[in-house]
Structure 1
Amino acid sequence: MTVENSLAEHAPHAQQRDHISLTRYSGRFAPSPTGPLHFGSLITAVASYCDAKAQHGTWLVRIEDTDIPRIYPGSENHILRCIDAFQFEPDAEIIFQKDRLDLYAAVLQQLQQRDLVYACQCTRKMLGSNHIYAGTCRNLGLNFANQAIRVKVTDQEICFQDRLQDKQCSNLAQDLGDFVLKRRDGIINYQLAVVVDDYLQGITHVVRGADLLDNTARQIYLGQLLGYPKLSYTHLPLAMNAQGQKLSKQNLAQALDLAQAPKLLQAALTALNQATVELDTPARMLTQAIQQWDLSRIPAGTALHGYYL
């Protein structure tokens, strides 16, 4: 049974592929609503949007909110207001992952039927400081109910050519071990949800921050298990604060001031080292930015020079 048939069987109300038409280039912006969007988020949105539109592709927005307990009140609404204020134009309806849990469950069931996953009773306390999972529960045959679910990884090198960060390689068995797809509390792990949704939405190109670079091998591996097409990856250098930390919600990065959208948009393009765009409405600025877009101008490395509040 194919993955698409499996999904159709377990979620008959859903189309096999969400995206209305598969294009040569389909990108996305996929923020998590664990806090308001900040300047680092804007850089990712601008880069993913311009890169897609410069190649006459499509651009989608997905709210990655499977970790429901971590959703910050009002942040989903703030994301939607940001999309409007900066006058981005998604090419399909914005989707929310928390509305798609049945799709992820269908994929998990398929992996279980193929004996590619197993139940794990290990707690964080039991694992201690070990960052490589030793496969403690792999052969115990535990019941899947009320347990974490891990995917079995193989001892192989996974490599990909990042459009900005050059060739990246990882051996999951040696670097990480079997990793969690569903937590003990029932929360679907980011790794599974993003792979399934990128496939179902017809995504071909992923443009995101370099903080997610080490997630990519896991996602490629899952995609291989499920027979999904290969994706192109571009990991952007990160905006930093005065302490040399990446801008993040955890580091209390300031929320985007939507009243200053044109100036912030100009600053994001400057941070990406793009050709100058004159202050105007965000829509006109984005049109000019798309016409001038040059990925090769983005600074090398995983961090941007200077710092941004």
Structure 2
Amino acid sequence: MLDNPIYPIGSPNQPWTEAEKTHWRAQQRKRRSYQDDVVARIEALAEFVQIEQYGQLDYGSDQYPLLALKIGEWTTEKATCLVTGGVHGYETSGVLGALYFAEQVAKQYSDNINLLVLPCISPWGYETINRWNPLAVDPNRSFLPSRLAAEASAVMDYIAALELPLDLHIDLHETTDSDNEEFRPALAARDGVVNKNWNIPDGFYLVGCTDRPQPAFQQAIITAVEKVTHIAEADAENKIIGAPLEQKGVINYAAKKLGLCMGLTDAPLVTTTEVYPDSPRATAENCVLAQVAAISASLDYLLAATKALS
């Protein structure tokens, strides 16, 4: 772990006030379009999926419809799977992987599984390439009763209103060089603490849930993704991003306690994917395909488990 230089907003050891958050927000700029990149692709699927708007974010003059895709004919006889992307808007392959899956792959599974895809939970973060929302709140630490992020609250309410329990939830993420260059230093500055950068792993890995580890499930995903891209190795301390390695390419987090999207439900099968788009061994297309391979492998595992129980 390496110390990072002092962040240019705020004072050392002093948590941000609203003044610093306003300063930070004023520096953010739109760098891509949620409407063009995400909404338009979702709307193009309207002939064969059910599109539901589960909320709307109003940030100043910007309004962002929050959209979900219900794929296939939902019945109580089928298992139900949730795919989420863009909880951190800057993690591009999570958003594009969820969309690609809905467009190209979902039909293969929709006869046997109720599929629910939320491609971009944090559209402001997508447009500005940010980890936080405009209030300097991390949506992926906000799936908690405190409801600090509107992005997380909208998802929580939508999922709570579903008539069927979830059997599987796969949440699509990335670990990027910008974590050390921007987002972790900003977090330390916001909270008035000393930043310690983590070692960015070169390759794909998974984060399982500490209270629902499911090692065979995680291993099945790693095995499938390994055919598409390389798997991250542990560092000299046998850790990935500071967490002990559980098995090849897999670490565990206390998802519910930390307010992670992965901990949103009580689904027995849960995982977070982590792609490394800055690797010299990866391309943008390869990262998207790795996300899709992870989704497909998780669904294959669910189907096999369901069949074994029948």
What TM-score, normalized to structure 2? Answer: 0.29
Between structure 1 and structure 2, the one with the greater Rg is 1
- In proportion to residue count, which structure has more strand? 2
